[in-house]
């Protein structure tokens, strides 16, 4: 059956999370442009915050900073709110800027092909509920796909034989009842640190299996009561000043990422704080399991939401003994010990598959072919690759941060996209693409910078496990990103033919 041809639309945005919201809102605010559509594969907007609904799910960045600079929210109930509040904020902001009305849900992006003759993209789409397929032409195609959505699959032998539910934190269902159950939690990153204390009150037992230790830091979470909300709403500059202060505090922590004497001093201080906090808060029997041997900064630090204290509960236990097999009634470890389980919770992270895209650009080039020439995934300023005109990443290669709010990073790259795509959207030129020589130069400089950061010797999802290529993290400060995106090098961009104005 031939796909249904949808009417031409100037701009298609893929992804209805924070990135898609920011792009849609800024098109309206800064270019007075609303002739776009957002395609979201899930049944609701929100991206990461719609997919992740496990108990205890919340932000690890203060909400006054983990929110949009142009849409502050004075009504957060806590400094670090949980998932329902963040999702409600996303939905309210989408409604405020009309983004919700421009979003089509349950629609998957299957791929796109550049048409040189018309200077447009032919985009392939499918309905996730009916399987019906579509194609649609657009002038500008923007990928706002997130990263923390697709769970890592469980590869432990025997998992298929387990009699009870096996649920990843990103696939949590509200009908999952843990009351009086024996629960095994596999993993000990940010998700595990949130879910373990949240379920420990209901579950009969919680046995957690740690794969590698994390650096834990204290996370005070004061309530924001009526007085604070009134001040944020009515007293000028208070909320923005606190936001700026948080920004600068997190910027200070980037020093620990540098392989330098200054970076070493930073790491010693932060490690001392983490060790002190673990010894002050967690049972002594778990200290060796909880304290990492690798450099701080190799993985994202965990701001403790009550996890370490929950390890003192009689029904909670922690081990780093490897699991060898899952059977019908629980898990078996290397020593032969069997841990009974009614439910297995996987807090095992996510597939970093945002860049596994079916895209065909100029001269039939695919991203895989293009990136093979560099050694790994990359993009000029995280947003563009030369063979793909009028195509932009918002949460692209090397756009993640190891120390601060990704919302700030996405807002910054959206600023860059708006500046270079404006002539295309306004109908002044047919297309725009980054020049290959600028992309090559930027990639080389970026990889050199990454080789001088702690991640160069780390084993984490930041780096390709086979090649060591780091296509995930931005190696500089967010101030550097802000400056690069607000005053871009326009000579780096090749603009297509001018369009005659009537």
Q: Mean of the pLDDT values across residues 147-162?
A: 88
pLDDT on residue 469: 92
Residue at which a domain ends, from 303, 331, 346: 346
Rounded to whole angstroms, how far apart are CA atoms 190 and 303?
8
The contacts of residue 440 (CB under 8 Å, 6+ apart) are 374
For 328-351, write each residue's pLDDT tens digit: 999 999 999 999 999 999 999 887
Same domain? 170 vs 71: no
CA nearest to 404, candidates 325, 323, 477, 480: 477
- Residue 220 sits in which domain range? 159-346
**359 shares a domain with 280:** no
Per cent of the chain over pLDDT 90 is: 89
Q: Maximum CA pair distance of the chain?
A: 79
- In tens, the pLDDT along 438-466 reads 999 999 999 999 999 999 888 777 888 78
What pLDDT was estimated at residue 502?
62
Close Cβ partners of 431 (under 8 Å, ≥ 6 residues apart)? 119, 389, 390, 424, 495, 496
- pLDDT, residue 1, reads 78
Mean per-residue pLDDT, 8-29: 98
DSSP state of 322: P
* Per-residue model confidence (pLDDT) at position 468: 85
Question: Looking at the structure, do residues 193 and 324 belong to the same domain, yes or no?
Answer: yes
- Measured CA to CA, the distance from residue 360 to residue 356 in angstroms comes to 12
Q: What is the pLDDT of residues 378-428, one digit of tens each?
A: 999 999 999 999 999 999 999 988 789 999 999 999 999 999 999 999 999
CATH code (residue 339): 3.50.50.60
Q: Is the pTM of this model over 0.85?
A: yes
Q: Which residue has the tokens 């041809």?
A: 5
Residue 407 dihedral angles phi and psi, to the nearest 5°: -60, -40
In total, the chain counts a number of residues equal to: 502
Confidence of residue 71 (pLDDT cuts 50, 70, 90): very high
Same domain, 415 and 298: no
DSSP for 268-303, please give it: HHHHHHHHHHHHHHS-GGGHHHHS-SSPTTSS--EE
Q: Are residues 332 and 375 in the same domain?
A: no
Residue 184 lies in a domain: yes
Do residues 170 and 280 share a domain? yes
Domain boundary among 322, 346, 370: 346
Task: Work out the mean pLDDT of the chain and round it to a whole number.
Answer: 95
What is the band of 148 on the pLDDT scale with cuts at 50, 70, 90?
A: low
Read off the pLDDT of residues 172-222 as tens digits, 9 standing for 90 and up.
Answer: 998 999 999 999 999 999 999 999 999 999 999 999 999 889 999 999 999
Q: Is 210 among the domain residues?
A: yes
- Which residue, of 346, 374, 407, is where some domain finishes? 346
Q: Minimal CA–CA distance to 460: which of 190, 195, 208? A: 190
Contact between 91 and 45 (Cβ < 8 Å): yes
Cα–Cα dist 203/198, whole Å: 10
Look at residue 353 and tell me whether its pLDDT is greater than 60: no
Domain count, the chain: 2
């Amino acid at each position: 059956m031939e796909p249904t041809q949808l009417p031409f639309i100037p701009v298609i945005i893929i992804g209805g999370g924070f990135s898609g919201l920011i792009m849609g809102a800024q098109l309206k605010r800064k270019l007075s442009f609303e002739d776009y559509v957002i395609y979201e594969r899930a049944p609701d907007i929100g991206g990461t915050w719609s997919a992740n609904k496990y108990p205890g799910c919340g932000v690890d960045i203060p909400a006054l900073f983990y929110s949009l600079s142009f849409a502050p929210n004075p009504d957060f109930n806590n400094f670090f709110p949980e998932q329902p509040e963040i999702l409600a904020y996303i939905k309210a902001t989408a409604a405020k800027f009309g983004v919700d009305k421009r979003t089509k849900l349950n629609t998957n992006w299957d791929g796109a092909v550049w048409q040189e003759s018309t200077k447009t993209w032919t985009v392939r789409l499918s309905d996730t509920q009916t399987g019906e397929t579509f194609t649609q032409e657009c002038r500008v195609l923007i990928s706002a796909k997130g990263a923390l959505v697709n769970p890592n699959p469980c590869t432990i032998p025997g998992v298929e034989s387990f009699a009870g539910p096996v649920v990843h934190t990103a696939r949590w269902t509200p009908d999952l009842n843990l009351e009086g159950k024996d629960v095994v939690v596999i993993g000990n990153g940010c998700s595990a640190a949130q879910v373990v204390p949240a379920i420990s009150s209901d579950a009969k037992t919680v046995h957690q299996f740690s794969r590698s230790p994390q650096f834990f830091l204290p996370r005070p979470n004061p309530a924001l009561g009526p007085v604070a909300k009134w001040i944020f709403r009515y007293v000028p500059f208070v909320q923005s000043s606190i936001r700026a202060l948080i920004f600068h505090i997190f910027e200070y922590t980037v020093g620990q990422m540098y392989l330098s004497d200054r970076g070493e001093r930073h790491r010693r201080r932060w490690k001392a704080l983490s060790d002190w906090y673990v010894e002050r808060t967690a049972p002594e029997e778990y200290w060796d399991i909880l304290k990492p041997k690798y450099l701080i900064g190799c993985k994202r630090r965990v701001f403790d939401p009550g996890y370490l204290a929950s390890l003192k509960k009689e029904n909670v236990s922690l081990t780093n003994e490897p699991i060898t097999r899952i059977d019908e009634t629980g898990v078996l470890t290397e020593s032969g010990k069997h841990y009974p389980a009614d439910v297995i919770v996987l807090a095992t992270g996510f597939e970093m598959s945002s860049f596994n895209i079916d895209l065909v650009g100029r001269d039939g080039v695919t991203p895989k072919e293009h990136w093979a020439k560099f050694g790994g995934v990359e993009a000029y300023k995280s947003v563009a690759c030369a063979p793909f005109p009028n195509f932009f990443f918002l949460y692209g290669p090397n756009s993640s941060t190891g120390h601060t709010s990704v919302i700030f990073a996405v807002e910054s790259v959206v600023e860059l996209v708006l500046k270079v795509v404006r002539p295309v959207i306004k109908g002044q030129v047919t297309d725009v693409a980054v020049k290959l020589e600028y992309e090559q130069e930027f990639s080389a400089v970026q990889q050199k910078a990454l080789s001088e950061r702690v991640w160069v010797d780390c084993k984490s999802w930041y780096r390709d496990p086979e090649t060591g290529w780091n296509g995930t993290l931005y190696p500089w400060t967010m101030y550097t990103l802000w400056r690069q995106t607000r005053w871009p090098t326009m000579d780096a961009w090749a603009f297509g033919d001018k369009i005659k104005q009537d």
